[in-house]
Structure 1
Amino acid sequence: MKATRNISLLAVIALIAMLFATACGADRTSQGPARLAVATGGTAGVYFPLGGAFANIINEKVSDVTANAESTGASVENVNLLNNGDVDFATIQNDISYYAFTGTEMFSDVAAMTNLRGVATLYPEVVQIITLANSNIRSVEDLRGRRVAVGAPGSGVEANARQVLTAHGIGYNDIRADYLSFAEAADALKDGNVEAAFLTAGTPTAAVTDLATTHSVRIVPIASAMAERLIADFPFYNQVRIPAGTYRNQAEDVETVAVMAMLTVREGLEEEMVYNITKALFENLDMLAAAHSRGGDVVLETATDGMSLDLHPGAARYYSEMGL
């Protein structure tokens, strides 16, 4: 009887150990490769094709690892999936990663997600302030007293709008703020119900392109001095230019700022695995470029620009070897 009890106890211990191993980290078994989940975004966006290409790089170029890309609601959902251990990698805007890591903005009511780590920044998500060309709004300062669409409540766009306005000494009490998505804001611009709208996205942005086919639009610049002030407070921003011709009748480059789409990983993934995956990513950038035009923006030289998280040790080791 005692021997039977001992065998049963050992069986229970073995079962608990197996369940713990499955719950922690990538799904690795002695019979096959580790299986990784990659959170991306909606199927109509940029994150989904780039995340799919990243998964393909892992599947084709990294030994003993397989990956599957999953369509999600993008950045805010992705940080929660990553924090909960439901996925291993995720595409997330660098400002959203920062808010999650520090427990600020839309994450102020939850515990800081300190298990997030950076792998690489990918391409700029440009802060665009759109008005109609027949308006007299030509600078951010001209938004005072105007009706401005600042993004959906609690969104990354709304945080960007508030930060940009604050850098210019403008608060929400100085404007008439409407909490609208850009799809809603575009209709409001057409109807004259708002005079300007904030948007954060890769350029050219389809919604702006569509608006510009029926209405002449102007992109309001964020001057370099103000961009520097913003970056001093929020270092996840970068200064960028929207090239002339990005939108119909856009005759000149426009100065603005951007956050960065970035590849993020959970802290507990093995260093050697993340090193091998980071190395494979930058040795096969053509696969990203083939998946979406934004993939062509991903280059090793800017892989840590705007990085808002501590690098995962595996990624840090690769960059050190490459002289970054």
Structure 2
Amino acid sequence: MSKGRRTMRASAAVAAAAVVALSACAAPEDVEGPGEAEGDGETFLQLATGSTGGTYYPLGGEIAQLWSSNIDGLQVDTFATGASVQNMRALEGETEDEEAGAIDQSELVMAINGVAMQAQESTGPFEEEPLASPDDILALGNIYPEVMQVVVKADSDIESIADLEGANVEIGPPGSGTEVAARQILEAYGLDPDEDINASDSTFGDAATALGDDQVDAAFGILSVPAAGIVEIGASNEVRLLPIDGEEAESLFELDPSYSSLTIPGGTYNGQDEDVDTLTQWAALYGTSGLDDDMAYDLVRVMYENAGDIGHDVGGQVQLETALDGLGTMELHPGAERYYQEQGVLD
């Protein structure tokens, strides 16, 4: 992805997640094991998504339904997790999550591209506990832009990230992409996340409720635009987004090439009258070399060719043209690579 500015045209209205998306989601204990079922030749795959209050969970359910409906002999089940960091570990084997409990190995995961790069490079949250085979992580393609949104009430005295010193701040669940990015951003503004703020680690759904109830002063969230949780707060309270720009943003670009700038137009949320510059990464789909090449080909083909059937607001942002933005050093799965070559988006 280039570091040029992207401007997202977003309506302030958020549609409810489709019922079919939720019906495709299941708790880990209800999910069939991966592989081929005995006697009927059907293939079962699991897709690790994110917290129930975020975008990954309902969106992942809809994408899984697309796959199950359009690829013969395939059933994809989804389940809630702690999101990006948790999901990268789930590619290698069973992992534990405070919200979801024990999570089996997953053949497919949704994760922020920056976290995937950290997993491959054994840096950040993977430095002390690296994956056993980080080079086996393979990208299948981008899903939608993940936008860092730091929200406060419109009448708050907090005008910038630097003003969060001493404040009560929701920085995202442990191991989530939101938490990883929030810590990087706070440090770029000279704040120690463990010393200079009173940090909480709720899911964004709970964080939004806490902000609306004045239990916290600000909440970080890597979310789609518009974000349902922020729209819900704005229904009863005017809100503002804090900018992430200038020298601090430039330092983050140098630190992590998966970042780029994005402008959220004024009017996206109730109370946010002016354009706000912030950072974006990409929510992307990942697997390993253990995923069959033909299956990987069909997964990306169906996801992009049927994106118009996705009811979630970000469905319109699932585009073949941006499938490889911000890929960095990540290698493509050979099956996905074949599809992109056929479509002319990869030489």
> TM-score by structure 2 length?
0.73
Identity over the aligned pairs, expressed in percent? 35
Q: Give the match for residue 121 of structure 2.
A: 102
Distance between the aligned counterparts of 2:168 and 2:82, measured in 1?
28
Is 1:55 the counterpart of 2:64? The answer is yes
Query: Higher mean Cα deviation, 176-185 or 257-266?
Result: 176-185
Cα distance change of structure 1 residues 267 and 220 upon mapping to structure 2, 3 Å threshold: same
What is the letter of the counterpart of residue 79 of structure 1? M
2:64/2:78 contact within 8 Å kept: no
Give the helix-richer structure, 1 or 2.
1
Cα distance change of structure 1 residues 31 and 132 upon mapping to structure 2, 3 Å threshold: closer
Q: Give the match for residue 297 of structure 1.
A: 317
Superposition map of 1:85-100 within 5 A: 86-100=105-119
1:152 positional shift: 4.0
Superposition map of 1:24-173 within 5 A: 26-27=35-36, 32-41=41-50, 45-63=54-72, 65-75=73-83, 76-84=85-93, 86-112=105-131, 113-114=133-134, 115-144=136-165, 146-172=167-193
What is the letter of the counterpart of residue 73 of structure 1? T
1:190 positional shift: 5.3
> TM-score by structure 1 length?
0.78
Distance between the aligned counterparts of 2:205 and 2:334, measured in 1?
40
2:297/2:335 contact within 8 Å kept: yes
Distance between the aligned counterparts of 1:46 and 1:173, measured in 2?
27
Cα distance change of structure 1 residues 51 and 192 upon mapping to structure 2, 3 Å threshold: closer
Cα distance change of structure 1 residues 217 and 37 upon mapping to structure 2, 3 Å threshold: closer
Aligned length: 298
Q: Give the match for residue 215 of structure 1.
A: 237
Distance between the aligned counterparts of 1:233 and 1:92, measured in 2?
19
What is the letter of the counterpart of residue 257 of structure 2? P
Where 2:303 maps in the other structure, the secondary structure is helix
Q: Give the match for residue 5 of structure 1.
A: none
Cα distance change of structure 1 residues 67 and 90 upon mapping to structure 2, 3 Å threshold: farther
Q: Which blocks of at least 5 consecutive residues in structure 1 are unaligned?
A: 1-24
What is the letter of the counterpart of residue 141 of structure 2? A
After superposition, give the CA deviation of every residue in 1:258-296 in whole Å (9 maximum; x if it has no partner): 232111112222223312332232222222x3x312111
Larger Rg: 1
2:82/2:174 contact within 8 Å kept: no
Distance between the aligned counterparts of 1:67 and 1:40, measured in 2?
16
Cα distance change of structure 1 residues 188 and 71 upon mapping to structure 2, 3 Å threshold: closer
1:117/1:267 contact within 8 Å kept: yes
Query: Higher mean Cα deviation, 307-316 or 291-300?
Result: 307-316
Root-mean-square deviation over aligned CA pairs: 3.1
Q: Give the match for residue 206 of structure 1.
A: 228
1:116/1:267 contact within 8 Å kept: yes
Cα distance change of structure 1 residues 41 and 128 upon mapping to structure 2, 3 Å threshold: closer
Where 2:325 maps in the other structure, the secondary structure is coil
Where 1:58 maps in the other structure, the secondary structure is helix
Query: Higher mean Cα deviation, 108-117 or 147-156?
Result: 147-156
1:145 positional shift: 5.2
Distance between the aligned counterparts of 2:129 and 2:341, measured in 1?
34
Where 1:178 maps in the other structure, the secondary structure is strand
1:111 positional shift: 3.2
Q: Give the match for residue 4 of structure 1.
A: none
Query: Higher mean Cα deviation, 92-101 or 185-194?
Result: 185-194
Query: Higher mean Cα deviation, 25-34 or 156-165?
Result: 25-34
Q: Give the match for residue 247 of structure 1.
A: 269
